[in-house]
Structure 1
Amino acid sequence: MKKIIARIAFGMAAFALASAASAQVKPEDQIKYRKAGYSYMMSWNMGKIKANLEGSYNKDQVAAAANAIAGIANSGMGALYGPGTEKAVGGQTTRVKPAMFTDKEGVTKVAVDFNKAANNLAKVAADGDAAAVKVAFGEVGKTCKACHDQYREE
């Protein structure tokens, strides 16, 4: 429990720092960075866990991927949704819906849910129980889907 609280506190601090830093990052770079974080890092690590759950299970690979996902969840990437990033700019396209920038309560809920699920996945993965990882992995997937359904264009 202490690790989860520490990760949430770290995530909040990282968000505060990232918010300040994002003011200095051009909107097109914010879009590029957030796309890379989600498309490459999240997708790649989710894929590693899925492959382990569907094939030969390697506890260490799963734990490393789960820790990476928790790191992304706690990284403050929400700050990369700054002003001017709600539309294509500087050659960078985005599929974010306008509601992402106006529905603060809803965005906070999906972000907190994702953070909790990702931190839980890392905790469960450290124990090495494939069945428990499968459940926790499904919860992370649900939080990703909830955000995509509400705030991402097809």
Structure 2
Amino acid sequence: MKNTSSLLLAAALLASSAHAQQTPKPEQLIKWRQSAYQVIGWNTGRVKANVDGVYNKDDVIRAANTIAAVANGGLPTLFAAGTDSGKGWHDTSVKATLFSDAAGAAAAQAAFGKEANELARVAQGGDVAAVKAQLAALQKTCKACHDDYRNSN
């Protein structure tokens, strides 16, 4: 595997191609979004481990680019009607208000995408303090969205 971003891009293209042919079942959409957020979480952890420990610029760049790729890879399409309840890999934790607050959900996604893109940009410079500050900005968007649209499990 050359890199995670290429794999994610291929998966997104495959998913969008499959979507054009037929609408996925809600359970499949829930699985896909749970998987996407697992990838984001894992890569966020990689960045955090680097800024809190021994810094590896290349690892941070790969992780930040992966986060940005997923953030900009069509996440909103995984929150289709009918996916406010059900099971993917596990029960969904999405609040029903996400589906009734389209403007708020779009703003949350836009903020996340903006901060993810900025993390990828800042990572290129290799300034640990700047990466750490940008990681905090990214995590702030995650927390805000969770506070508004995610049930505590």
Residue 32 of structure 1 corresponds to 31
Q: Does 1:117 align with 2:125?
A: no
* Superposition TM-score, scaled by structure 2 size: 0.84
Alignment coverage as a number of residue pairs? 138
Report SS of the residue matched to 1:86: coil
Cα deviation for residue 24 of structure 1 reads 1.3
Aligned 1:53-132 pairs, distance under 5 A: 53-89=51-87, 92-132=90-130
Residue 5 of structure 1 corresponds to none
Q: Deviations over 1:86-133 (max 9, x none)?
A: 111578521100111010110011100000000000000011111100
Give the counterpart letter for 1:66 in structure 2. Answer: A
Is the contact between residue 113 and residue 143 of structure 1 (CA under 8 Å) also seen in structure 2?
yes
For residue 133 of structure 1, the aligned residue among 124, 131, 134 is 131
Identity of aligned residues (%): 46
Is the contact between residue 29 and residue 88 of structure 2 (CA under 8 Å) also seen in structure 1?
no
Residue 6 of structure 2 corresponds to none
CA distance in 1, matches of 2:81, 2:145: 19
CA distance in 2, matches of 1:125, 1:90: 33
Counterparts in 2 of 1:125 and 1:109: CA distance versus 1, 3 Å: same
Is the contact between residue 28 and residue 92 of structure 1 (CA under 8 Å) also seen in structure 2?
no
Report SS of the residue matched to 2:114: helix
CA distance in 1, matches of 2:130, 2:54: 16
For residue 48 of structure 1, the aligned residue among 46, 49, 52 is 46
* Superposition TM-score, scaled by structure 1 size: 0.83
CA distance in 2, matches of 1:27, 1:137: 32
CA distance in 2, matches of 1:65, 1:103: 31
Give the counterpart letter for 2:34 in structure 1. Answer: K
Cα deviation for residue 21 of structure 1 reads 2.1
CA distance in 1, matches of 2:79, 2:36: 13
After TM superposition, what 4+ stretches of structure 1 lie above 6 angstroms from structure 2?
none
Is the contact between residue 31 and residue 89 of structure 2 (CA under 8 Å) also seen in structure 1?
no
Counterparts in 2 of 1:89 and 1:138: CA distance versus 1, 3 Å: closer
